Amino acid sequence: MEKFELTILGCNSAMPAHGRFPTSQVLNVSGELLLIDCGEGTQMRMSQYKIKRNQIRHVLISHLHGDHVYGLPGFLGSLSHLSRTAPIKVYGPPGLEEYINTCIRLSQSHIDYDIQIVEVTLTGVEQLFRTSKFTVDAFPVNHRIACMGFLIKETPRPINIRKDIIGEYQMSIAEIKSVKAGQDLVRGDKRIPNENLTLPRRRSRSYAYCADTQIAGWSKDHLHKIDLLYHEATYLDAMREQAQARGHTTALEAAELAKSLEVGKLVIGHYSSRYRSVDALVDEASSVFPNVIGGYDGMILNIDV
């Protein structure tokens, strides 16, 4: 099975603490690497966890708070030292281009490749791009500044006809194309259902990244029944009032959301530095949604269905 694999590079909020770096992740979809947010320490974790940074073609930045972008200028600069020639696309909110260009200009960094910056203003779910292997949608969430989440879905697999069926029905090229397009085979008055002619198709896998956000104030219907949901869980629920004031979510709220959306698994992160151990956060979430995972730096999650 082709990879659909998440590596967590950093899972802390605000600043490095307790062996946890600020937010950063890499998603490997069939060998194509997406970098999601780029907090301090991202490159150190890439080296530690053997992420081939020169293979990253797309960077997704949720918002411009420092714990999600302070590692980005260094990462882009290092690619030149790695003799990069291929372009890289960086998606994020308005202000991203000014931030990147200012850092490059003031540091007099020498960039030998093309950085294509795409600033995104959202009113709803919007497809950022698609490849032959996956699609990436962005959606607005509810933080103190403009912030977005990302939904990555595998492209549906092509339909494959059973080899014995082609010979059995002496199918023409036109009929083969029709069946591969999902149509039934019609022979006179007889209709042979498509599922009787083809091999079972593996369901496409899906992953959603919900960056810093309150639990209320944004649409979530598009996340229903996804395979893996990453959602911030900065505080225990005893601090819900503070979480809301700062545009964040508690572990209990994240679990309630996962349960209501009927997702396959929930992974939590973006922990406050007040928690040396995150066991209490995981326990709180597990009390509502049993299929919860406490994210940690270096965690690798294979998304299988």
DSSP 183-247: PPEEETTEEE-GGGTBPPPPPPPEEEEE-S--SSSS--GGGTT-SEEEEE--B-GGGHHHHHHTT
Helix (H) or strand (E) holding 261: helix 251-261
Q: 279-286 vs 251-261: helix axis angle to the nearest 10? A: 40
Which residue among the candidates 67, 212, 227, 237 is catalytic per the annotation? 67
Among 140, 175, 196, where does a domain finish? 196
Residues 208, 101 share a domain: yes
Q: Are 9 and 54 contained in the same domain?
A: yes
Instruction: Clarify whether residues 44 and 125 are in a common domain.
Output: yes
Residue in 256, 258, 254 with CA at minimum distance from that of residue 223:
258
Q: Where are the beta strands (DSSP E) in the chain?
A: 4-10, 24-29, 32-38, 56-60, 88-92, 115-119, 126-130, 134-140, 148-154, 185-187, 190-192, 206-210, 228-232, 265-269, 292-294, 300-302
Using alpha carbons, list the distances in angstroms from residue 75 to 71, 79, 80, 100, 144.
Answer: 6, 7, 9, 11, 26
Nearest to 279 by CA among 290, 293, 266, 259: 293
Domain count for the chain, please give it: 2
Are residues 72 and 216 located together in one domain of the fold?
yes
Per-residue pLDDT at 225: 97
Q: Which of 147, 179, 196 is the last residue of a domain?
A: 196
Identity (one letter) of the amino acid at 259?
Answer: K
Same domain, 117 and 40: yes
How far is Cα 127 from Cα 14, in angstroms, rounded to an integer?
Answer: 29
Q: What pLDDT, on the 0 to 100 scale, is given for residue 305?
A: 66
Q: Are 251 and 285 in contact (CB under 8 A)?
A: yes
What's the pLDDT at 158? 79
Sole residue written with tokens 């959602």: 231
Q: Which domain holds residue 192?
A: 163-196
148 and 288 belong to one structural domain: yes
Q: Is position 304 annotated as part of the catalytic site? A: no
User: pTM score > 0.85 for this model?
Assistant: yes
Q: What pLDDT score was predicted for residue 127? A: 98
Checking 124-130 for CB contacts under 8 A at 24+ apart, the result is 124/219, 125/151, 125/219, 125/222, 128/60, 128/91, 129/58, 129/89, 130/155
* Residue 76, domain CATH: 3.60.15.10
Statement to judge: residues 84 and 14 lie in one domain: yes
235 and 185 fall within a common domain: no
Q: Can you give the pLDDT of all 305 residues of the chain as single tens digits?
A: 789 999 999 999 999 999 999 999 999 999 999 999 999 999 999 999 999 999 999 999 999 999 999 999 999 999 999 999 999 999 999 999 999 999 999 999 999 999 999 999 999 999 999 999 999 999 999 999 999 999 999 998 778 888 888 888 888 888 888 888 889 988 888 898 898 888 887 789 999 999 999 999 999 999 999 999 999 999 999 999 999 999 999 999 999 999 999 999 999 999 999 999 999 999 999 999 999 999 999 999 999 86
Residues 108 and 228 in one domain: yes
Q: Among 116, 42, 100, 114, which residue's Cα sits nearest to residue 75? A: 42
**In this structure, which amino acid lies at residue 205?**
R
Q: 48 with 78, same domain?
A: yes
Contact 220, 231 (CB under 8 A): no
d(CA 77, CA 108): 10
Q: 185 and 253 in one domain?
A: no
- Is 176 in the same domain as 288? no
